[in-house]
Amino acid sequence: MCITEVTAFMTDRFADRTAPVSVPRPARRMLSTTRSFTVGQGKGYLTVARTPDGRVAGVTVRMAKQGSTLAGMLDAFSTTVTRGLQHGVPLETLVADYVGTRFEPAGPTDDPDIRQACSVMDYVGRRLALDHLPYATRAGLGVLTTQERTAQQTHGNTKTPAGTWVPAGVTP
């Protein structure tokens, strides 16, 4: 067998495995929201970029202390979340992986809906869930606003026609 025959054979045999993954090109301009936050002693900024139809397209987390190990780790975290979203990973899956992650800095936050966070990644996951996921999904992850938690404790739960439980006084 000559080299051309081997190449043809390999191309035919493994064509499905070597096909490049088609990743949609992000828009040149997207709407974004930047929020400052504090977790324990760490201060940072969360920027969420959205597609024109409102889906989360990118997440950037910056810590105030640039050059720290945590800042480098969160840069990698931001890149991973953004690439995952670009490749079709549902936001719910990413949030579920990061909520509850524990490392320093941890502690009280300056966000009225998220009073405590186990880490910056935990805070980011919770904030993304509160801002971009429906109530039923968030409830399954244990991520509720202060109002929803209070309503749940005060009035109990009610069942929707779809069969999901919602705190009384909260619109699903």
Q: Where are the domains of the chain?
A: 31-133, 143-172
Average pLDDT, the chain: 81
Asked if residue 129 has pLDDT above 90, the reply is yes
pLDDT in the model for residue 22: 55
pLDDT at 162: 47
Contacts of the segment 80-86: beta carbons below 8 A, 24+ positions apart: 82/57, 82/58, 85/56, 85/57, 85/58, 85/59, 86/23, 86/24, 86/26, 86/57
When comparing pLDDT for 27 and 100, which is higher? 100
Place 71 in a pLDDT band, splitting at 50, 70 and 90. Answer: confident
Closest Cα partner for 42 from 88, 11, 73?
Answer: 73
**Top-confidence residue, 117 or 148:** 117
Instruction: Answer whether residue 50 shows pLDDT above 70.
Output: yes
pLDDT at 52 over 90: no
Beta-carbon contacts of 171 under 8 Å, excluding residues fewer than 6 positions away, are: 135
26: confidence class by pLDDT, cuts 50, 70, 90:
low
pLDDT of 130 strictly over 70: yes
**Residue 34: per-residue pLDDT:** 93
**Could you tell me the pTM of the whole model?**
0.74
